Structure 1
Amino acid sequence: MEEAAKSTEDVMNSSSTGIQQIPPNQGRGGKVSMRMSELPLTMFETIVALCIFGTFAIALLGIYLSMPRIDHNLLKLPRTVSELRILTDYVSKYTDDYKLQVLLGYCTIYIFMQTFMIPGTIVMSLLAGSLFGVAQGMALVVFTASAGASCCYLLSKLIGRPLAMWLWGDKLHYFTREVAKRKDYLFNYMLFLRVTPTLPNTFINVCSPIVNIPYPIFIGATVVGLVPATFVTVRAGVALNTLSSFRELYDFKTVAAFFCIGLVAVVPTILNRSQLHDSEKPHSS
């Protein structure tokens, strides 16, 4: 415990060794208190998180009460493809007559899951494809995923620093250094991260405001970078009957294709650096 506290203190001190430090939380006047206890949030931060959680809960309750009588046993997050098929068949019966409620419920649940880092959004993307088709499903998933990422970003900007340090201390330091090295081409770097599975999306959402990635760059790279994976998932949802396992969604070929797309995003950075390096070379007489 003492070693962890000492390590955290060393990281947050002014650097005299040349190691890139995590930017201070400017919302707190530059004073950072790293709490390495079991719950790394103050009472105020916990209350803020609970208030946001309660807002989502009230919204979900209102949508739930406006729906017709339903089978509660079926309204759960599917863990297998067979359970997802059952849920899709059940929800599709209400899509025509209660489309607004279904859409509001879907959006609220998806954004709620993204905001509070609840796993299972891939199932929601498959469900969108099954219920609304490729075009509408993609638009719905990109919108809700971007909105959820934005909520997570803003919530993390307010109270996320101690939680991020508690969960991903070493990885956060690495991310800070990588962002600092690419500050001139930050959008390309963020786009690469969104397209490829280099870093988890949850980590990116939470840690981006902590390392001072501007929100316009964050949301722009998020919207564009979500498109390839969303297309794969939503299209699989349309053909849900041919899917036997969630693992089939991202096979080796699909992941390799994502990395190829991600490399295209960083090509301008590589070219610009090469040109800058050549221009800095002394011209021969």
Structure 2
Amino acid sequence: MAARDTDDARQPTVARWRRWLPLLVLAAGLVLFFAVGLHKVLTFEALRTHRAALAAWVSEHYVLAALLYVVLYAALVAFSLPLASLATLVGGWLFGAVTGTGLTVLGATSGAIAVFLAARSAAGDLLRARADSFLGRMESGFRRNAASYLVFLRLVPVFPFWLVNIASAIFKVPLRTYALTTFVGIIPGTAVYCSVGAGLGGVLDRNETPDLKLVFEPQILLPLLALACLSLVPMLYDRWKTSREARR
């Protein structure tokens, strides 16, 4: 009888660890990335050194290279590795602005879904109860209109990409809403970076580094802000409608 009671007591603990395991694996991957020094290896300098071999391999194995790029991009997003800008530029360079944008968006969305599912399995009431004021400021937006708010956050990165992924899980955004808004919301910014990446070969020939500040140029930033404001219209309308009904 005592043995059975002990087993029953262990079950909630085991179940809790199983819920946290996916998130712990992703966190371990990030720690390992820095521990083995990959952040010092995967750089623009390394790309400049090996770009001829890389371009030749992609040319010979285009379909495989495209699939591998999507998988690797999904992995770097899932593990929150600080390589997104470099990888997006490389995608634009290797596959062109249009195809590179499509592949990057597919990989980024897949990786973001992996983070979302991992966080949702662990999040529950525990993470929600411990969400600090930084996450708390996001909660009202998610509650009013999750789709509208998520598109806004993807278009204008007010909060880090990984934080939006986890917050969406904490605040119980439906998976379909999360996936669709992520896919649509990151297209404009990704297209800008891939367009810059399409000219990466010439930049490397001149021994230069791509100017990523281009995204802050008025002709690019203003349309992005306009799209972001447009995405908030449904949420603002719901708020106005609620306020109007409350005054009746």
Calculate the TM-score normalised by the size of structure 1: 0.65
Q: Percent of pairs identical after alignment?
A: 21
* 1:211 aligned onto 2:171: yes
Q: How many residues are aligned here?
A: 219
Q: Which residue type is aligned with residue 223 of structure 1?
A: F
Taking structure 1 as reference, are residues 142 and 162 closer, same or farther at Cα in structure 2, changes over 3 Å only? same
8 A Cα contact 2:109 2:182, kept in partner:
yes
Q: Do the aligned residues in 2 keep the contact of 1:196 with 1:255 (CA within 8 Å)?
A: no
Ranges in structure 1 where 5+ consecutive residues have no aligned partner:
1-32, 34-41, 56-72
Q: Kindly state the Cα deviation for residue 174 of structure 1 after the two structures are TM-superposed.
A: 2.0
Matching residue of 2:122: 159
**Matching residue's letter, 2:197:** G
- CA distance in 2 between counterparts of 1:234 and 1:109 reads 16
Letter in 2 for 1:269: M
Cα distance change of structure 1 residues 53 and 271 upon mapping to structure 2, 3 Å threshold: closer
C-alpha deviation, 1:280, in angstroms: 6.1
Contact 2:128 2:170 in 1 (8 A): no
- How far the C-alpha of 1:212 sits from its partner, in A, is 0.8
CA distance in structure 2 between the aligned counterparts of 1:192 and 1:96, rounded to whole angstroms: 37
What residue is the counterpart of 1:176 in the other structure? 139
Instruction: State yes or no: 1:97 paired with 2:63.
Output: no
2:155 matched residue in structure 1: 195
1:215, distance to aligned residue in structure 2 (A): 1.0
Query: In the TM superposition, what whole-angstrom CA distance separates every residue of 1:172-205 from its partner, at most 9, and x where no partner exists?
Result: 222223323x1xx321111111101211111011
CA contact (8 A) 1:153 1:206 kept: yes
For 1:195 and 1:217, how far apart are their aligned partners in 2?
A: 15
Give the whole-Å Cα distance in 2 for the aligned partners of 1:149 and 1:156.
10
User: In the aligned structure 2, how far is the partner of 1:145 from the partner of 1:270?
Assistant: 28
- Residues 23 and 119 in structure 2, CA contact (< 8 A), matched pair in contact too: no
Are 2:236 and 1:270 equivalent residues in the alignment? yes
Q: Deviations over 1:252-274 (max 9, x none)?
A: 52344322210011123334544
Match of 2:189 in 1: 229
What TM-score does the superposition give when structure 2 sets the normalisation length? Answer: 0.74
Unaligned runs of 5+ in 2: 1-12, 30-37
RMSD: 3.4
Alignment partners' CA distance in 2, 1:169 and 1:278: 32
